[in-house]
Chain A
Amino acid sequence: MRKVWDIHGGIHPLENKDQSNQLPIEFAGIPEQLVFPLSQHIGAPAVAIVGVGQKVLKGEMIAEAKGLVSVAVHASTSGEVIAIQDNPVPHPSTMSAPCITLKSDGKDQWIEHQGINNYLNLDRTELVNHIRNAGIAGMGGAGFPSAVKLSVRGEQTVETLIINGTECEPYITSDDCLMRERADEIIAGIEILRYLINPMKETLIGIEDNKPEAIAALNRAAEGTAINVVSFPTKYPSGGEKQLIQILTGKEVPAGGLPGDVGIVCQNIGTTVAIYRAIAHGEPLISRITTVTGNACDHNTNYEVLLGTPVSYLLDHSGFHQKKCSRLIMGGPMMGFTLENSNVPIVKTSNCILAPTVDELPPPTPAQACIRCGMCAEVCPASLLPQQLYWFSRGKEYEKLEDHNLMDCIECGACSYACPSNIPLVQYYRASKADIREQKQDAIKAEQSKMRFEARQERLDRQEAEKEAKRKARKLAAEERARDNNNPDPIQAAIDRAKAKKASVKSEKPAAENATESLDRARLKEVLANVEKRLVTAKEKLKQAEQQGSDNVEAFRTAVEKTNSKYLKTKQELITFNAVNPALSDSSSMPAEKKILTGDAAQDAIAKALAKRDAASSMTDEERLQNAVSAVTKRLQKAQQKLAEEQRQEGEHIDLLTNAVAKLDLKLADADAAYQQFQNNNHD
């Protein structure tokens, strides 16, 4: 006898299995209409590959798997597809979901199919593909795609393969009957699994000791193989995957981990049969064993049911009394869910239809206050603290719920069963689990939204910066163009001017050749005039530049200074020359300004200013100050006149003019003060 371990907690509800396991498995028959939900498993729903009106044969694929974690759906009898639409499906939500409806033709005609004679010659991946195409999902209850579980995983080696024949929930006997009647198929299926998984250590079938016939049958069938049939004391919920692993191996699957983490793979008894039929006979998963039981049915037994058969069809076969039934349950009394509608179909995970009377399974009494008895903690198979979880759940303290390992709850219902106050504890846990999952998803989505928002903001900023740079470049280019239009090519202009000058000098030359002296003087005069001309132009340019606020103001200013110094130097030279040759000196050596007076107003003004400066330099300080006062007075008078005129006409510039007058007033006061001070100083 092999050693088995115990799990924490657990309960011993009435088994109620004898009602349904007395008779052999019956074939339920072919209903007129079958409904195939596209989602009968965990993962992405399958995608329909048939059209309405299409004739299909038994075993033909009608919906294919979408993605890796998904399972195909096959027609369970021959007939015609009459609808692909939303229908009520067996689910605690009582919602509708996409389904394919098939009208059977009664012929039950198989599609051509063929088993694999010797699967040992086949590659493992190919074999897994066969299982995938056969549409096999775990038949214990969760419906996890079997092919995914069996896929070759990287480095992980499997020590132990466990086949779950526990069937710990009350009332359900489908696995029990399957083990009694089809032990050989089960063992053959396990051999296929052993070939696929290659467990290094052992292969175990775990069965509770309340099924002696099943144990005996399997022991007989397993003789001569490496498969061990292990029985252990009956207790709910030893059939939970993690619980069974602990019972059989003493190993605990870590919180949030998978059996693979401790080198174990678990499969359900029903799944082994389905795999056997898929490999040995080439038959996809189109039927399963379902228990129909409860006192509201006269005939309690196990049926071999075609998938898609309506629950009502099965109930009709079993002498169901609607009036006696308190509620219809799919699954067992502990973990099953109420069916609101008996027209939902049997799916791959439907192991039991329970139709209890009111006496048998009375409606839940109202919950009373928690008396903190601690019974729930005593029975919890996952060693959690259900009472604490209950309080946190009611207070929505999700962090604390997670700290107390709510996610390790297997929702077995033992705590609710034990609760003397009838608190629906599992419901609280289910709701809180959903809340926590939702919160996590929201957090992920928020993070994603934030990233997208920030990326967008960055992009907008970048685009704005680029636009700004372009705008600046355009503005600069426009300015450049404007300047070029005012002075078309300055270099060319300079060259032209130089040429013109040369030509003029050439033409004047003969006249100046009278005498060397006069020639020299003439040359000097000419140079002087030239320099003066240049000075005037330079000044003009400077003024222009200043007005336009050009960058070259500095350069122009230096040029003016240089030209000015040259002018002074030349003038000095001429004066020296005249001094040396006084006879020849004439009035022409006097400031040449008057001579070069032109019609140009600007040049006139400059010449005037120069004259004034010369005059000013010869004035005494007193005169200068007097002049300044009189000039400012004059300007003030003028400004006042203008202001008066503007006021009369109510022009726009009154403000400006008033301002100007005020400024001039100040200036006049300043000038007056300076003059007074000067006079005072002189008198002292």
Chain B
Amino acid sequence: MTELIAQYPFFAALLALLVLGIPFGGLLGFAAVKFKTEGNPIADQVESLLPQTQCGQCSYPGCRPYAEAIANGEAINKCPPGGESTIQALADLLDVEAVPLDAEHGEENVKTVAYIREDECIGCTKCIQACPVDAILGAAKQMHTVIVSECTGCDLCVEPCPVDCIDMLPIETTLQSWRWNLPKPVEILATDRTTDKEVAA
């Protein structure tokens, strides 16, 4: 045996690789079939990072379609409600450069909720049909109102209202929701050189 190998080292190596290759290839093929992932896992991961306002500002009809588009190479900076933090998270996930928010799709604003001026509401149900998360309560010819805790502030109910009785109000800070802000980083450099001000004086 050893002699044969010594005699034909090239063929022996080839044979050894073949013997190894066939079962491992089979194993890989089996694994590919057996452990196949259903659906698009990247789209799922992307979707879990999106704010789910379903506002459509990214020009896709909802967060899921945009997530799928991102998984297929769409730009990650089209989500104004998510803002910089979402872009950063997406950039980390997809290992791409974080880019500033695309102003074409809107700006990152303070969070808002819809508010219906109930005196003016005529009960047309148009906003109810527009709300992507069923956060508006009401019936035909009955006054409508917004369930504040469910409203995502997506803005979609404002446009269909025929009497313009819906306002987007910024969410007010209460004692309970108040928070500390990061201190402004002040880094002083000690220097013995005269500054411009001193020169001017």
Contact = CB atoms under 8 A, between A and B. Distances in A.
Given A93-B178, A431-B181, A434-B179, A453 B50 contact: no
A455 B134 CA distance: 9
A442 B82 CA distance: 10
A92 to B, nearest CB: 7
Interface of B: 47, 50-54, 62-63, 85, 132-135, 150, 152, 173-176, 178-183, 185-188
Interface string A25-49: 0000000000000010000000000
Contacts of A393: 182
B182 A428 contact: yes
A393 B47 CA distance: 26
30 contacts: A39-B175, A39-B176, A89-B175, A91-B178, A92-B178, A93-B173, A97-B174, A366-B188, A369-B187, A394-B182, A427-B180, A427-B182, A427-B183, A428-B183, A430-B179, A430-B180, A431-B180, A431-B183, A434-B180, A435-B179, A445-B52, A446-B51, A446-B52, A449-B51, A449-B53, A449-B150, A449-B152, A452-B150, A455-B134, A456-B132
A368 interface: yes
Contacts, number: 80
A180 B52 CA distance: 58
A424 interface: yes
A294 to B, nearest CB: 24
A453 B182 contact: no
A555 interface: no
Contacts of A93: 173, 175, 178
A95 B178 CA distance: 9
A450 B63 contact: yes
Nearest to B54: A453
A561 interface: no
A430 B182 CA distance: 8
Contact of A367 (B62, B63, B135, B185): B185
A431 B53 CA distance: 25
Interface residues of A, number: 36
A447 interface: yes
Going nearest first, the 4 A-B pairs with the smallest beta carbon separation are A434-B179, A430-B180, A446-B52, A452-B133
A606 B85 CA distance: 83
Given A367-B183, A367-B186, A453-B133, A447 B178 contact: no
Contact of A431 (B85, B133, B174, B179): B179
Contacts of B53: 449
A557 to B, nearest CB: 51
Contacts of A447: 52
A97 B173 CA distance: 11
Interface in A440-497: 442, 445-450, 452-453, 455-456
A427 B184 CA distance: 10
Contacts of B175: 39, 89, 91, 93, 95, 97
Interface in A324-374: 366-369
Contacts of A108: none
A368 B187 contact: yes
A371 to B, nearest CB: 12
A334 B133 CA distance: 46
Contacts of B174: 97
A89 B174 CA distance: 12
A670 interface: no
A452 B181 CA distance: 32
Given A93-B178, A95-B178, A453-B132, 17 more contacts: A92-B180, A367-B185, A368-B187, A393-B182, A394-B182, A431-B182, A431-B183, A435-B179, A446-B52, A449-B53, A449-B150, A449-B152, A452-B134, A452-B150, A453-B54, A456-B132, A456-B133
Contacts of A366: 186, 188
Nearest to B147: A452
A438 B134 CA distance: 23
Dominant secondary structure of chain A at its interface with chain B: helix
Contacts of B62: 453
A366 B185 CA distance: 9
A428 B185 CA distance: 10
A407 to B, nearest CB: 15
A435 B50 CA distance: 17
A449 B54 contact: yes
Contacts of B180: 92, 427, 430-431, 434
Contacts of A97: 174-175
Contacts of A450: 47, 52, 63
Contacts of A455: 134
Contacts of B173: 93, 95
B110 to A, nearest CB: 13
A442 B152 CA distance: 10
Contacts of B63: 450, 453
A448 B182 contact: no
Contacts of B185: 367, 394
Interface string A94-131: 01010000000000000000000000000000000000
Contact of A446 (B50, B132, B186): B50
Nearest to B181: A431
Contact of A368 (B51, B178, B188): B188
A393 B63 CA distance: 29
A452 B186 CA distance: 45
A368 B190 CA distance: 10
B97 to A, nearest CB: 17
Contacts of A424: 183
Contacts of B182: 393-394, 427-428, 431-432
B10 to A, nearest CB: 53
Nearest to B182: A431
A38 to B, nearest CB: 10
Contacts of A434: 179-180
Interface string A363-392: 000111100000000000000000000000
Contacts of B132: 453, 456
A39 B179 CA distance: 17
Nearest to B47: A450
A374 B118 CA distance: 59
A502 to B, nearest CB: 64
Which of B52, B178, B187 has the largest count of A CB atoms less than 10 A from its CB? B52
Contacts of B133: 449, 452-453, 456
B132 to A, nearest CB: 5
A254 B132 CA distance: 42
A455 B84 CA distance: 29
Nearest to B50: A446
B187 A452 contact: no
B188 A449 contact: no
